[in-house]
Amino acid sequence: MMNILVLCTGNSCRSQIAHGYLQHFAGTKAVIYSAGIEAHGVNPKAIEIMAEDGIDISYHTSNLVDEYIDIPFDYVITVCDNANERCPYFPGKTQRRHHNFTDPAKATGTPEEVKEVFRQVRDEIREYARFFVAEHIS
C-alpha cells in the first residue's frame, strides 16, 4: 500500500480537498495524509463544498508536516508554491509532485462569489487527483 502526503501552507483548504479526493479515488490502494507548513484549521467552506460533491472531510484535522517526517512516503504532492519551496526533505524513495492551485481562502466578493471560487478550485483539484490516481496508483 502506498503512502501519499499532500502539503500546502496552512493545511486548511487545498491540501484538505486533495486529501479527500485522493482517498476517494485511491480507495484502499493508498493511505493519504495532508499537512501544512503551518496549521490553520480546516476551512469550513472547504468542508461545505466537498460535501456538495459527496466527500466528507469534516473529520479531517489540520496538521503540521513535522508530525509525518518519519513516515516512508511514496509521493509528496505540494499544492502551493510556498509549500513546494519550504517542503522538508523526505528520505528514501519519496517522489515529489507539484501543482500550484489558487488559494480559495483568499477569494473576495459576495458569499456566493467566494463559494464559486472554492468550487472552481475544488473541481481543478478533483481532476488533478483523478489523473494522479489513474497514473500512479491504479
Which residues are annotated as catalytic? 8, 80, 87
Instruction: Detail the DSSP E strand segments found in 43-113.
Output: 75-78, 95-98
User: Strands, DSSP E only, in 13-89?
Assistant: 30-36, 75-78
The one-letter code for the residue type at 36 is: G
Task: At 110, list the grid cell.
Answer: 459576495
Nearest Cα to 16, choosing from 53, 50, 65?
50
- Amino acid letter, 27: G
Which residues are bridge partners to 34 per DSSP?
6
Within its chain, how far is the Cα of 38 from the centroid? 14
